[in-house]
Amino acid sequence: MLRNDRIKFIMDFLQQNQTAKVGFLSKQLNVTPETIRRDLEHLEEVGTIKRVHGGAMINQTNTPETNFLVREAINIKEKEFIALEACQYVQEGDFIALDVSTTNTEIAKQLQKNFNQLSILTNSLTIATIVSQNPNFEVILPGGRLRNSELCIVGGSAIKQINRLHIDTFFMSVSGVSLTDGLMDIGHGEYEVKMAMFNNATNTLVVADHTKFEATSMLRIGPLSSVNGIITDPMIAQAIVEHFDSNGIPLFYYQEEQVEC
């Protein structure tokens, strides 16, 4: 079983049962206790659990943020590759929009580190905090209602403010990418803010790791033809790349030999 699948199983079990033993998890997931301990160490590092003797317990102090933190612990390397590739589509002085997502959080880290002057619109408090570390960045955080579990701004006030802006490039996160069903997402509040960014951007680039392809979600964003491109990670299957390319939808992903942004 892949690490991402183990982490999801562990977090689902802990959220339902509060505690779990290493031996039990090892048997359920058919891996060694050492593997489970490494998984638990990683989850403790990102703050979602607390390790105890022989196992782990859910970190109750972080309950409102658990969902976001769990996602942040999954597909880390893939998101880093997406962030590096996304930098190739940014120029100094651009006005960039980033909706709330763990992938865009990685993009924010790369932008903050590698660019001198950008204007950045986001509804994510986490992303705003990261990019605000660069004193030359103009950071726009629309007003509205705070959704505690995602630490993001939603609501009509935020949408009205975004509708007054002209965005150069919007990096849009999605929950599903499908040739037949198009682009999909989940979460009504975030979806409406996402669509406002989408509707007011000159260019929109989808950012989606390989696990999002041919997955479906509850809310339809639009056809693949409505965006300027899709940035994914190098772990995507070549068959999917060829399938999308043959349908006129090229996928972009970071190559190891590329110069970092």
Instruction: For residue range 186-208, list pLDDT tens digits in order.
Output: 877 789 999 999 999 999 999 99
10/137 same-domain check? no
Q: Find the CATH number of the domain harbouring 18.
A: 1.10.10.10
90/18 same-domain check? no
Instruction: For residue range 98-151, list pLDDT tens digits in order.
Output: 999 999 999 999 999 999 999 999 999 999 999 999 999 999 999 999 987 788
Chosen domain end from 43, 72, 101:
72
93/67 same-domain check? no
58/166 same-domain check? no
pLDDT value, residue 19: 86
173/156 same-domain check? yes
Q: Is the pLDDT of residue 260 over 60?
A: no
Chosen domain end from 36, 55, 72:
72
Judged on CB neighbours under 10 Å (0-12, 13-18, 19+), 173 is buried
Q: Which residue's structure tokens are 């705003």?
A: 128
Q: Find the CATH number of the domain harbouring 83.
A: 3.40.50.1360
Indicate whether 258 belongs to any domain. Answer: no
How far is residue 240's CA from residue 242's CA, in Å, rounded to a whole number?
Answer: 5
Indicate whether 9 belongs to any domain. Answer: yes
pLDDT value, residue 63: 36
Chosen domain end from 41, 72, 103:
72
Whole domain around residue 83: which residue ranges?
76-253
Dig out the tokens for 94 from the structure: 């651009």
Q: Which residue's structure tokens are 């160490």?
A: 41
Indicate whether 259 belongs to any domain. Answer: no
Instruction: For residue range 25-77, list pLDDT tens digits in order.
Output: 999 999 999 999 998 988 877 667 888 888 998 765 433 334 555 555 566 88
197/94 same-domain check? yes
Indicate whether 8 belongs to any domain. Answer: yes
As a dihedral over the C-alpha atoms of residue 191, residue 125, residue 132, residue 210, rounded to 10 degrees, the angle is -50
Split into its structural domains, the chain has a count of 2
Length of the chain: 261
205/185 same-domain check? yes
pLDDT: which is higher, 252 or 66: 252
pLDDT value, residue 226: 95
According to DSSP, residue 65 is labeled: G
Indicate whether 260 belongs to any domain. Answer: no
pTM: 0.73
Indicate whether 261 belongs to any domain. Answer: no
